[in-house]
Each structure stands twice: as C-alpha cells, then as structure tokens.
Structure 1
Amino acid sequence: MIRQMHSSFLFAALVASLAVSPAEAKPAEQKKAMTKLEAATSLAPMLARVLPGVVSVLIEGQRNKPVTIEAAGSSGSAPIVPTPVVEPFQSGGSGVIVDAAKGIIITNQHVIVDATSIHVQLSDGRVTEAKLVGADVGTDVAVLQIPLKGLTAVPFGDSDRLRIGDFIAAVGNPFGLEGSASQGIVSALMRSDIGYEVFEDFIQIDAAVNPGNSGGALVDIEGRLVGINTATGAQKLRTQGIAFAIPVNMARAVADELIKTGTFRRGVLGFLTENLNFEMAQQMNLTITRGAAVKSVFPNTPAAEAGVKKGDVIVAIAGKPVRGHSDYVARVSSTPIGQKLKVELVGTGGKRELTLTVSDVMVSPMAEVPPMGVKGLDGLSLGAMLPGFKSFGFVQGARVLNVGDGVVASSGLKVDDVITKVDMSIVRTPQDFFDTTNAKMGRYRLEVFRDGRTFWIWLTA
C-alpha cells in the first residue's frame, strides 16, 4: 500500500511538472516529456534493453546416482564399491550475455553440471551450441561462449554500491517461460550460511525467482547487471518471498579467471579463523562482538610474515565487513591468487590495517580425533577443508586424515574422503561430525564425497 501511494504521488507530481498548454507544446517536447513519464512509471524501457541479453540454457547430460559401499566381510575381503549407476537427464536455466563481441555468457555452475550437451536460445529465437569455457563449483559460477554475431550484452553494474531497499528486477526463464521479469527490492546483503554454495555472499531479494531463473540477470533500475539469480528460499528455507543472487562483482572476478585459465584456483592469506563470540570478546576486552577470530596462523604465509597473532580479530576485508568465519572464507576464496587485499584487524594493540597478497601456499590441517566415549570410531581422525586439498572448493565437510585398521577402515571410508552428512545432518567441520555421531545409537549413514562422486557408507555406534 505504501509503495502504491508513493508511485501514485510520483506519477502525479511528474505529470504536473511536465504539464504545458497546447499552444506551448511542441512535438519534440511532448515526445521527450512522455519518455520521461514512461521511464518513471514503467520498467518496460529498461527491460526492453535487458531482455535481448538474457538467454535460455538448454542441457542434456548424465549423472551418477549415489551408491552404497559394502563393508568388508569377516573373511578380510576388501570393501566393495558398486559400479556407478548413470541416469540421463534434461534440464534448463538462464544465462546473461556480458560480452557481445566474444559471445561470453555467465550462468550458474549448477545449471550446466554433468552436461554432455549445452545449447543456448536467444530472445530472437536463434539456437546454437555453446562451449563451456570454465566452471567454479565453490561460487556456482560458469562461463559459456557462443559463436553468434549481432548479440546484445547486459552492461555491468557495481554490486558493492547496492543498498537495502534499492529497486531491482530479476530476468530469466522460469519453468521455461522465456523472457520473464519480476521486480522487487534488495532485502539484505552479504547473506552467508544459507547452505546453497561452498562460498556464499548472497544478495537477498524479494523478487520472484523460480526454477529456470538460475543463471539469469539481476539488474538495477538502470538495467545494469548487479547479480546472477541463483536460488529461491523455498528450496532450503521452505519459505516464499525470499531469493538469492550472487553479487556481480564476485561473479565477474571468478568469470575473468575462468576465461583466462579455465579454472579458478584458490589461495590463502594464512589465517585459520572462527566466529568471534561474546565470551571471547570479553576476555580480550573488545567492544565488538562480530568478526573472524584468528585461531592460528600458518607458517610461511603472508599473515605470518605480517606478524598477525592468534587472538587478533578480522573485522573487514577490502572495505567490506567480516561478521564471522564464513564471511572471511568467502572474501578470500573469491579473490584470485596474486591479488592484494586490505585486511582490518582488531587486537590488544588496537585496530590496524594490513595489505596481504592471496598466495598459492599449501596448508595442512590439524588432526582432530573423536572425544572420549564415542563408540565405533577408533583410529579415525579428521581435519578442516583447507586450500591445496583437491576437494577444497567443491564441497563443505570434514576431511578424512586417517581411518586406522579397525571397523572404520573396513566400512569403506578412505583417507581424503570428505564427510558431508551424517544421516540427514549436514557436516561442515570435524566438530560437526563428532557432535552428531556422539548422539547416535545403532547404525547411521555417512554421505561421502570422493573424486567427484557421492557415496554412502554405514557405521555403527
């Protein structure tokens, strides 16, 4: 109702300001006045510019179904890994042309995952096969290229300039209904820990986003690309009126690397962090209660060379607030190796600012073992997911460092597997795994990521 009253007031005021007598009106002035009026009361002129730059992405592919590993028998036989079951599929999504001359399209990685054939359909009806330039699972960004001419690109905006309350429009092809647009506002910024991607820094919007919108354009009131529509709240939060988009600045940084090298390699600054809590802040005599507290500093890294200590708290990176561990990881993990970042820290010596370079350094996790009293996990040790590990950036979970030679090993679990779930409980850290299994009685199922495939393994408490 408030928005309706505001629009009516704006309309009336604009009509009054543009009003001229018939004698004074000239055709050119009338046309100019009507153009201003249309721009103020309709998104049609803006969308007419954007829609040719939003495409349908058509997928055919094959995916492996999860399979259950059979534990080793009492005779000492090895665990049995069944032959993968492959199922064909067809799906679709959206994409945004960002470079008309080169035919470059940005979409979501989950739109094209497991694709064996990718085709793109333009708003003018033309259809062509697309080449996959590169994809990044961690940020859910993929880049396609098509060979057609006469394309229209959507101009880049600046997602760092977005504010809560800014008007936006989501453009895509929900349920295959091409050229669909919905409007709304920016509801929140820097949303993380939603559970869609490995590294999250979402724009939250209230515009309608549905299956098929993924990979489409989120544009501001001027038609500039400010985000890539990615998910609806109905999938994880079981609610309507909430949707999420990847900020275009993040998508663009990842896409540029994919275009250059075909992949996005992740580096480190050298911190291992955790969420700052009230008790920690009190112990350190800090006046803040949000930030990423430094648990440890890895040797021979930019952080170590800069003299950062355990207990320092990261409060901002590149001028953007860091509210906790997830924010820190998302900022660094979406920054290419070799790029410098300004890092603001608070510690016992007050606030300071460092400029650190994201570096290609291998870091090894510390082994964590089950607490006393947890049954059935003898010999198991887990570690955090850190840069340099082959599965870092593909999934979140607990990395298996050792399985011993008992029941854990005979279950089929292997070193460098990543445990992502215990039954239906999500695992993101070793502590998550131990907390969940500590409450289990009887058999429970692990969901495990191994070499790009998902397996199920049974353990008994």
Structure 2
Amino acid sequence: MKSLRKTLPLLCVISILCVGQFVTPTRAAALESPMLDGLGKEVADVAEKSRPAVVQIYSTSVTKQKISDPFDQLEEMFPQMGPQLRRNKNQSQPQERELYHQGLGSGFIVESDGIILTNNHVVAGASELKVVLDNGKEYPAKVKGTDPESEVAVIQIDAKNLPTLELGDSDKLRVGNFAIAIGSPQGLSQTVTFGIISALNRSEVGIVDFANFIQVEASINQGNSGGPLLDTRGRVIGINTAIISTTGGSQGLGLAIPINQAQNIYKQLLKDGKVTRGYMGITMQPLTPELADNLGAKNKSGALVGDVVAPSPAAGVLETYDIITGINGIPVKDSKDVMNRIATMAPGSKVKLTVIRQEKEKEVEVKLGARPSKEERLAAKNSGGKPILSPEAKEENPDLGLGFKVEALTPEKAKRYGVDDGKGVVVTSVDENSEAYRRGLRSGMVIDQINQQSVKTVKDAADIIKSSGKKSIMLRVTDGRGSSLLGIPKGKE
C-alpha cells in the first residue's frame, strides 16, 4: 500500500506529461490553417483596395410643423371672451417651426468624376447632402436621379480622379459564395464585415417592386445602406439595402440589390434622371398547385394572368387564365420574374411570350408600352373603391361547402362594388379556419367566374362547384382594386 502511494504521484506526473505531449501538437495544428490564412489575406487585401472608393453620405431634410395658436386654448378656457380672442387671433401671424432631420448612409464611387451609387432611401427628401471620402475630405452632393421602385439612386460630387470600384456580374453568384460588405453602420465609417451569400432571388420581402435581392450573412446594420457588397476579388456584386430583423439590429439577414439589376437603372438615371420600364398591362399572381391542377398545367412553373387592363399593350393578346411560361424563348419562374424581365425592356420593343391557354401551348407577341408612374397606377387601382358588404342583405345565402357563403349581386350592389350589373355573386362570409380564407378569399369580394364559367346567380355558383370533378375550385374574384384568381382545394374543410 505504501509503495502504491509513493508510485501514484509519479504516475500522475507521467500522465500529465503524456497528455501534454498529445495535446500541444493538436492545438498548434488547429491554429495553423493555410486555407484560412489565405482567405483572411484575401479579405484584408480587398478591404484595403476598396475602402478608398466607399463614402459616407450625410443627409439633412427639413419639415415644417405648425405651432398651436395660444388663442385657441384661451377661447376654450374663456368662451365668453371668444369675440375678442378671435379678433386677436386674426391679427396674429400663423406660426410654424422648422424641424431638421439628419440621416446617414453609405455609397461607392463608380466613375472617377464623382458619380456615386447609393440607395434611394439614403437621399430621398434631402434638402442637403454631404459626402465624406475615406481620406476625410468633404463635398456637397447633388442628386442625379432616384428610383424608389428599385431603391437605386445616383448622386455626384464635384471632384476628379477619384478611386472607383469595378462592377462584377451578380448573375454568376452561387449560394455559399463569400461576400464582403463595407459601409458606415451606426456611423462607424469604413466598417468591413464578411460572410456568405445565403440565398438568391429574394423577392417577396415587401421592400421594393423591382429587385430579386441577394441575401447575405455578412453583418449589415443601419448606416450600411447604399454601401457595396463585394466578391473576394473586390468587384461589386450588390448594393446593401436592408435587413430583416426583429430587433432593429443585424441578425445575419442582410439584403442587397444585385449589381446587374442596379447597373441598367443607374445608366438610365445618369442619362435621363428617371427610369422608363416596359409594360404589358396585366395583373399576375403565383401559379399555385391548386390553380395549376385546375388549368391542366401540372408540374409547370410560370405566371398566371389574373386580369388584363383595357386598354393596354396586352389587351386582345393575352387573356385571363393564360399561364406565361417563357419570354423570348427563356423559361420564367414566376410572376415576379416576368415583371422584372419585362421592366428591363424598352417601351416599343416586341416580346414573344410562351403561354398555356386552355391546356395548349402557344406563342403570342406583345408590343410593350411605358409603365405608368406609381401615382397613376394607384389612382387606377383605387378608382373603384373597396367593396363594402351591404349589412341589410336578406337574400339566399347558402354555404357552398368550401367555407364561404355568397348572395346575389343586385344592381345597387354592383354599383357599390364597381362591377357590371348581373355579373357575379357577392361573398358574404368566410370561415377563418377554411382553405378559402387561407387562400385569400374575403367578405365583400365579387365572384364572377368559377372554373372559367360565368356566374350570374347563387344557383350558378352552387351548380358549378357541385358538378366539378376536379380536386380544386378556381374562383375569379374582384375586390374593387382589380381581379385575381384563387385556387381552393375541395374536401379539406
């Protein structure tokens, strides 16, 4: 026992030394990685080369706020003095005060004579712009053009021989590629962050009409907007634009406008100060499995035509229920893809569309017009007003077996809903737990077609639904802002 006690300390020392002999080389090997060292050097080289062409943009905007008139408060307190107070009020001058708002963003120089690319929201509404270069020099800037629909803006400073960034090719990007962001998050100028491209073609994020965003894992925060997203060779692949966050800070979900999309817009803004886009005059919507099944277009991708504006370039060429599957021989993914590609084409150009109509494929040609302004489109979209269901309706109102009820469309209701008399039935209620509700059907909508058959009465609607042998029902609905198609599966209530 004594000998064992004497031996134990020695064994412990030997064990520790042995462990040390095994652990030390392993730790040293983990710290030595030629691949990571090489990548780190690449990132550092790109940052060093690119930062001189990245700028800070300070914006100042002014709003006027009316100051409440003290005579109004006195008149409330002393109504018996009203006449005298009103005379004094009429003699006083309306008072306003100016409120100054400061903003900060980023941008990057693309032409050596001071042309800078940035985001629209960085410069929108600014009464004064100041650009600060990497070397600390400050310049006033003027706006050359903005495009709110794509979030791209071009500004210029009065300077020559400035460093510029090379524009890359965002169409060649792949998920997993490395990306480098440079900007001024929270005012911290020339901040460099690094990550991977985590997704491409992000479109349904509710930021702008025209952009299939690059989703990037590199940290992006407020102040990064307008700065460049670079590849590992220092070429611009995107314009950092927004973050998706529940906290307001970076959560690894940054969005950048692909530079190939921005480049065409930037050239138009520089030349004309505005962007002119191609326009067909149709409303489109996703081709859901239910709609594809109903239209005999299983396993197809494309954009479903929900309505055709009259008059418009597409009137008489395209029809409701057409499925656009290709543009000039190139397949399309969805309605967003169609809209973006048509928007890049010049008004007056002719485009060949591959469509599926009544389960047969055919080609049609549309001569594009110029896309109306956002204000013009909103005015047209809202001209009919939003339907308000008549609370005093007492007509037949059966449940059609799909979680919603309808009633006849009288001339009075047709006028109220902005639709033609005798064309359709009005949805009076929709079960919130039904597939119809989940697909977007709401009370107040007018159904004028079911499975491409006209509906004039409640009986028409019930008969078409009952006789349908398809797995889903297709409704054409109008809500005062236009028509759309809804596919509702049967037997899932």
Q: Establish whether TM, by shorter chain, passes 0.5.
A: yes
Could you say what secondary structure the match of 2:130 adopts?
strand
Q: Assess, with a 3 A threshold, how the Cα gap between structure 1 residues 278 and 97 changes in structure 2: closer, same or farther.
A: same
String of CA shifts for 1:179-216, please: whole Å, max 9, x gaps. 11111111111112212224342111111000100000
Query: How does 1:360-371 map onto structure 2 within 5 Å?
Result: 360=370, 365=381, 367=384, 369-371=386-388
What do the CA deviations read for 1:204-237 (whole angstroms, capped 9, x no partner)?
1111000100000011121111110001111699
2:261 is paired with a residue of what secondary structure?
Answer: helix
C-alpha separation between the residues in 2 aligned to 1:374 and 1:183? 58
Matching of residue 94 in structure 1 with residue 106 in structure 2: yes
Across the aligned residues of Structure 1 and Structure 2, the Cα RMSD in angstroms comes to 3.9
Residue 204 of structure 2 is aligned to residue 193 of structure 1: yes
Match of 1:226 among 232, 237, 255: 237
Mapping for residues 40-119 of structure 1, pairs under 5 Å: 41-63=41-63, 87-100=99-112, 102-119=113-130
Q: What is the distance in 1 between the residues matched to 2:353 and 2:231?
A: 29
Q: 1:127 to 1:239 in 2, by over 3 A?
A: closer
- Kindly tell me: are residues 358 and 145 of structure 1, through their superposed partners in 2, closer, same or farther at Cα, counting changes over 3 Å? farther
- 1:162 corresponding residue in structure 2: 173
1:433 & 1:279 partners in 2: Cα distance?
21
Displacement, 1:328?
3.5
Q: What is the CA-CA distance between 1:270 and the residue it aligns to?
A: 3.0
Change (3 A) 1:246 1:317: farther
The letter of the residue matching 1:260 is K
| Change in 2 beyond 3 A, CA 1:292/1:138 | same
Q: Which residue of 1 aligns with 2:321?
A: 311
CA contact (8 A) 1:336 1:358 kept: yes
Checking the alignment, whether the CA contact within 8 Å between 2:289 and 2:298 is kept in structure 1 is no
> Could you say if the C-alpha distance between residues 61 and 284 of structure 1 is closer, same or farther in structure 2, counting changes exceeding 3 Å?
same
Q: What secondary structure sits across from 1:42 in the alignment?
A: helix
Where in structure 2 are there 5+ consecutive unaligned residues? 1-28, 67-93, 393-414, 418-439, 446-493
More helix by share: 2
What's the counterpart of residue 332 of structure 1?
342
Matched, 1:279 2:296: no
Do the aligned residues in 2 keep the contact of 1:195 with 1:236 (CA within 8 Å)? no
Q: C-alpha displacement at 1:129, in angstroms?
A: 0.7
Report how many residues are paired.
Answer: 339
Give per-residue Cα distances to partners, 1:277-327, cap 9 Å, x unaligned.
22211111112364320123345644346x333222224557574323x44
| In 2: Cα distance, 1:328 partner to 1:8 partner | 49
| Residue aligning to 2:485 | none
Larger Cα Rg: Structure 1 or Structure 2?
2
Q: How far 1:87 sits from its partner (Å)?
A: 2.8
C-alpha change, 1:339 and 1:139, in structure 2 (3 Å) is farther
Could you say if the C-alpha distance between residues 321 and 258 of structure 1 is closer, same or farther in structure 2, counting changes exceeding 3 Å? same
SS at match of 1:130: strand
**What is the TM-score with the length of structure 2 in the denominator?**
0.60
Give me the whole-angstrom Cα distance separating, in 1, the residues matched to 2:32 and 2:295. Answer: 52
Number of the residue aligned with 1:3: none
Partners of 1:264 and 1:336 within 8 A in 2 = no
Contact 2:180/2:218 (<8 A) preserved: yes
Task: Percent identity, please.
Answer: 32
Maintained 8 Å contact 1:57/1:120:
yes
What TM-score do you get using the length of structure 1 for normalisation?
A: 0.64
Q: Give 1:127's match in structure 2, choosing from 138, 148, 159.
A: 138
The match for 1:205 among 216, 223, 236 is 216
Alignment of 1:262-273 (within 5 A): 262-273=273-284
Deviation string, structure 1 residues 33-54 (Cα, Å, up to 9, x no partner): xxxx856753112222211111
Change beyond 3 A, Cα 1:53–1:188: same
Whole-angstrom CA distance in 2 between matches of 1:173 and 1:104: 19
Inter-partner Cα distance in structure 2 for 1:244 and 1:224: 17
Instruction: Measure, in 1, the Cα distance between the counterparts of 2:201 and 2:442.
Output: 24
Q: Is the Cα contact below 8 Å between 1:64 and 1:84 reproduced in 2?
A: yes
Find the aligned partners of 1:201 and 1:302 in 2 and give their Cα distance: 25
- Report if the CA contact (8 A) 1:64-1:87 is conserved: yes
2:486 maps to none
Summarize deviations over 1:395-414 as a string: whole Å, max 9, x none. Answer: xxxxxxx999xxxxxxxxxx
The residue correspondences of 1:296-445 to structure 2 (distance < 5 A) are 296-299=307-310, 301-304=312-315, 307-317=317-327, 319=330, 321-324=332-335, 326-333=336-343, 335-338=345-348, 343-348=353-358, 350-351=360-361, 356-360=366-370, 365=381, 367=384, 369-373=386-390
Distance between the aligned counterparts of 1:357 and 1:83, measured in 2?
54
Change (3 A) 1:225 1:355: farther
260-269 vs 170-179, greater mean Cα deviation: 260-269
> What is the deviation of 1:137?
1.0
Change (3 A) 1:432 1:142: farther
3-state SS in 2 of match to 1:88? strand
* RCO higher in structure (CA 8 A, sep ≥6): 1
Per the TM alignment, residue 431 of structure 1 is displaced from its structure 2 partner at its CA by 8.3
- Work out whether residues 11 and 41 of structure 1, in 8 Å CA contact, stay in contact via their aligned partners in 2: no
* CA 373–304 in structure 1, closer or farther in 2 if over 3 Å, else same: closer
8 A Cα contact 1:275 1:290, kept in partner: no
Once the two structures are superposed, what CA deviation does each residue of 1:66-121 show, in whole Å capped at 9, x if it has no partner? 9xxxxxxxxxxxxxxx9998631111100011111x32111001001111110111
Point out where structure 1 has 5 or more consecutive residues left out of the alignment.
Answer: 1-6, 15-36, 67-81, 376-401, 405-429, 436-461
Offset at residue 340 of structure 1 (A): 5.9
Q: Secondary structure at the match of 1:115?
A: coil
Which string of whole-angstrom CA distances, capped at 9 and with x for unpartnered residues, describes residues 403-441 of structure 1?
99xxxxxxxxxxxxxxxxxxxxxxxxx989968xxxxxx
Separation in 1, partners of 2:65, 2:299: 47
Specify the code of the residue in structure 2 equivalent to 1:153: T
Q: 1:41 to 1:62 in 2, by over 3 A?
A: same
Most deviating of 193-202 and 328-337: 328-337
What do residues 343-391 of structure 1 show as CA deviations (whole Å, max 9, x unaligned)? 553444655566655422768558364152469xxxxxxxxxxxxxxxx
- 1:115-157 CA distances to partner (integer Å, 9 max, x unpaired)? 1110111111111111110111111111001111221111111
Task: Find the aligned partners of 1:344 and 1:248 in 2 and give their Cα distance.
Answer: 28
Distance 1:356 1:46, change over 3 A: farther
Task: Sort the Cα spacing of 1:98 and 1:10 in 2 relative to 1 into closer, same or farther, 3 A.
Answer: farther
1:142 aligns with 2:153: yes
